[in-house]
Structure 1
Amino acid sequence: MAGRACQYGQILPGASAGQEAGHWRVPLLDGAERLGVLRITTTADDDAGDAGDLIQLAAVVA
């Protein structure tokens, strides 16, 4: 999953094997350069809420 998030440059849901939390794979980008993938875990009631928040967090980390 992480490779696909980096390859496609899109936020992808991670596998949640019956867990109470959601997992998201967010590509880390610096302009056009791909740096890696950030795995973000959210609570069950916050199903990635706003993808903009995930993108902003990845931008701060990158």
Structure 2
Amino acid sequence: MINSFNKWINQIFGAEDKYTIQIDEILTNMQNEGFEIIDVKFDSLKDQGVFKDMEGFHTLITYK
């Protein structure tokens, strides 16, 4: 299970690049170490962070 936060709320609408880069690095490293990725699921949580202005993500990676 991986926990992550999004970029600042005042950014323009689009794909969440910070989250995407973090998860891509983890998945790539897992595959390079020989793990087979079975599934990736995520859930988002609103009003996270000190000022409650960020969105958090929980990511579950199933692998073997």
TM-score (norm 2): 0.28
- Between structure 1 and structure 2, the one with the greater Rg is 2
Higher helix share: 1
TM-score (norm 1): 0.29
